[in-house]
Each structure stands twice: as structure tokens, then as C-alpha cells.
Amino acid sequence: MNFKQYFIFNKEQRTGLAVLVGLIVIFQLLYFFVDFSTNKVVSKEDEQWLSMQTEIDSMKGIANEDSYKIYPYNPNFITDFKGYKLGMKIAEIDRLLAFRKTNKYVNSAKEFQEVTKISDSLLATMSPYFKFPDWVSNKKQYPKYDNSNFKDFSKKERIIVLDINQATKEDFVKIYGIGDAISDRILKEKEKLGAYVNMDQMQDIWGLSPEVIAELNSHFKISGSTVVKKIDINNLPIKELTKFPYFKYALAKEIVTYRSMNSGIKNIDDLTKIKGFPVEKIKIIALYLEF
């Protein structure tokens, strides 16, 4: 590529380039050597006003520094700085701080003066701004009551223990944690069994927590005179056995199979040999059986 052709100019082009370069040089010289800033002429009146304004501003600063606007405050929480601004001496502030370290409070202007030992004149200027809590300013007078009218709740009332088989729905709902639904379940289960033979049977009632069961045990018991209708385990057919809440169909079938193969069920030990028998409840179940 021939670059020489780009540097060949005619007469007019050379003249234009010379003029452009000359203008650039002139503007650069003007920029460096000519001061374009404008000097504002200040009159004597403006000078006097500016000096007065400076003095006024300085006086305002001094006034703001010396002034201390006071708002209502709780004198129990006066700090060193606040006490100094209010005119208190260091010893007076220290007395208040030492008093507060004992976890005590002043509740009146008089008490404040007794603690700090401030003068009457200083108290007169400070006390109008004292603000104590409402409970200090508006103490309520409560009527006195005769203690003889109150029960001694530290002594528990004597609990009357009832036979659970004789208890009614009203007796059950008095127990904390037992409502209508749970009391109905307890009564319905008793109806199926004929009677409860052990308080451990409360653990089979759905919805009873250990805490509520403990309450039931403290209010109810199984009476020694409880009569239970016995189940003839050696002669009842499967259908009749399943009416007993502890015997489901599968277990009733195993009972019939075992007794037919072993000439009957003779005692509680034979029950443990029956497949699927709830051994953990065997002592309770045995009380309902007739061998």
C-alpha cells in the first residue's frame, strides 16, 4: 500500500492547515497567560456588614454553648454531665450516685435534697422539672381485708376417693383434663367390661395423659366389693368371646383352637401358651375369666 499519497496536499489544503495550527497556538497562549476571573468590587458598606455578621455568628455560638435547655426528668438518673449543667457540685452528684448504687430511689424533691444535700435555692430551680413515675405520684390506697375470711390454700383440701365403678359422668368431669368426650369413653369401656378390676385399665382409654391418669388414681379406686361377671373361656364360642374387649377375632380363634387341643384351659399359665395372647395384661384379663 502506498501511504505517500495521504501526505500530498494542494495549496489550499496547506493554507488551511497553517491557519488551524496558528489558531491552536493562540488559544493555548491565551489560556495560560490571560486571567479570565472577575474581581467583584466590595463596597465599604458590604465590608462593615460582613464584619458585623461574623461577630453575630460568633456570639450565637457562644450563646448556644452556654445555654442548656431543661426538660422534665427523673432525678434518680442524673448523670455527672447533667448534674454539672444543672448547677450541682461534684460532692452532691457523688452522693446521689452512691445512693443509687444501693438500688434505692428518691421519690420526692424532699428525699432528693436529703440525699444530695443541695441548697434550698438550687432545689427550687430543679424540682419543678422533676418527673417521678406515675405509681409514685398516684399511689392507690387498697382496702384492708380480714384474713379470717380467706382460705389457707397452702393446706390441700381432703380428697374424697370414690369407687370408679360407681362414679358418674359429673364425677369424672370434675377432674382437670377430663371433658365430656373422655368421661363418656370411660363409662362406655366400663359398660363393655361390666366393671373395672384395676386402675391400670385407665391406660387403655384413648386421650388420657399420664398426668390425668395420676389425677384419676388420686380420686378413684377399685372397691373390694366389686363384682365382675366371669367369662367361661372353656365353653363360649368364638362369637361370644369376641364380645369381650380384650379378645379380638384372631385371638378368640386361637383360644378355641388351644382349648380343643389341650382339653381346655386350666389356669393363667395356659393363657401364656396361646398364640397372640396379650401377656402384659394377663393378670387383669384373668380376673374376668372362669377356668
Alpha helix segments (H runs only) across the chain: 11-33, 44-66, 80-86, 90-101, 109-116, 120-126, 134-137, 169-173, 180-193, 210-219, 238-241, 249-261, 268-271, 282-286
Q: What is the pLDDT along the chain (291 residues), one digit of tens a residue?
A: 566 666 677 778 788 888 888 889 898 888 877 766 665 555 666 666 666 666 666 655 544 545 557 778 888 888 888 888 888 999 999 998 899 888 888 888 999 999 999 999 999 989 898 888 766 666 555 555 555 555 554 555 677 899 999 999 999 999 999 999 999 999 999 999 999 999 999 999 999 999 999 999 999 999 888 889 899 999 999 999 999 999 999 999 999 999 999 999 999 999 999 999 999 999 999 999 999
Could you please report the per-residue DSSP string of 97-154? Answer: HHHHHTT----SHHHHHHHH---HHHHHHHGGGB---HHHHS---PPP--GGGS--TT
Residue 115 burial (CB count, 10 A): 19
Give dist(CA 249, CA 232) in Å, integer.
Answer: 16
Question: In a 10 Å sphere around its CB, with 0-12 CB exposed, 13-18 middle and 19+ buried, how is residue 111 labelled?
Answer: middle
Same CATH topology for 162-221 and 231-290? yes
* pLDDT score for 56: 63
Question: In a 10 Å sphere around its CB, with 0-12 CB exposed, 13-18 middle and 19+ buried, how is residue 52 labelled?
Answer: exposed
CA 258 → CA 96, 198, 230, 233, 275, distances in Å? 93, 27, 20, 11, 9
CB 172 within 8 A of CB 183: yes
Residue ranges of the domains in the chain?
75-137, 162-221, 231-290
* pLDDT score for 136: 62
Tell whether domain 231-290 is in CATH 1.10.150: yes
Length of the chain as a residue count: 291
Q: How does pLDDT run across 52-97, given as a tens digit for each residue? A: 666 666 655 544 545 557 778 888 888 888 888 888 999 999 998 8
Give dist(CA 257, CA 260) in Å, integer.
Answer: 5
Cα 9–15–17 angle (5° rounding)? Answer: 75
* pLDDT score for 27: 86
Closest CA to 274 of 286, 283, 265: 265
> Sign of dihedral through CA atoms 82, 87, 92, 96?
negative
Residue 73 burial (CB count, 10 A): 14
CATH superfamily of 162-221: Photosystem II 12 kDa extrinsic protein (1.10.150.320)
Give dist(CA 285, CA 131) in Å, integer.
Answer: 76
